[in-house]
Structure 1
Amino acid sequence: MLVRNIIYLPVPPKEEVFFKDLFKEKDWDVIQLQDSFEALQTIKKQSEGSWVVVMPESAQPLKAIQLKNYLADLNLDVKIIEVLETETEKEVHHEIIQISKPLGEEEKKIIIEEVNAPPEKSTEENLYSLNYLRDLSSDNEDFIDKMLSTFITSVGEKIDEMCHLLQHKTEENYKRIKEIAHSIKPSFEMLENHKGKNLCHSILHQLPDDQIFIATQSLEEEYTKIVRLLKKNHSNLAEV
Structure 2
Amino acid sequence: MPSRRDSHTIQVLLINAQMLNSASMTRDDYDQTLLGGLTSPVKGLQMTRPVVIIDEPHRFARDNKFYRAIQAIQPQMIVRFGATFPDIVEGKGKNKCVRKDYYRRQPQFDLNAVDSFNDGLVKGIDIYYPNLPEEQANNRYIVDSVTAKKLILRRGSKIAEVGVGENLADVDAGFEGSIEYAGSKMLSNDLELEAGMALVPGTFGASYQELIIQDAIDKHFDTEQANFYAAMSQKIMPRVLRP
TM-score calculated relative to the size of structure 2: 0.25
Higher relative contact order (CA 8 A, sep 6+): 1
The structure with more strand, counted as a fraction of residues: 2
Structure possessing the higher radius of gyration over alpha carbons: 2
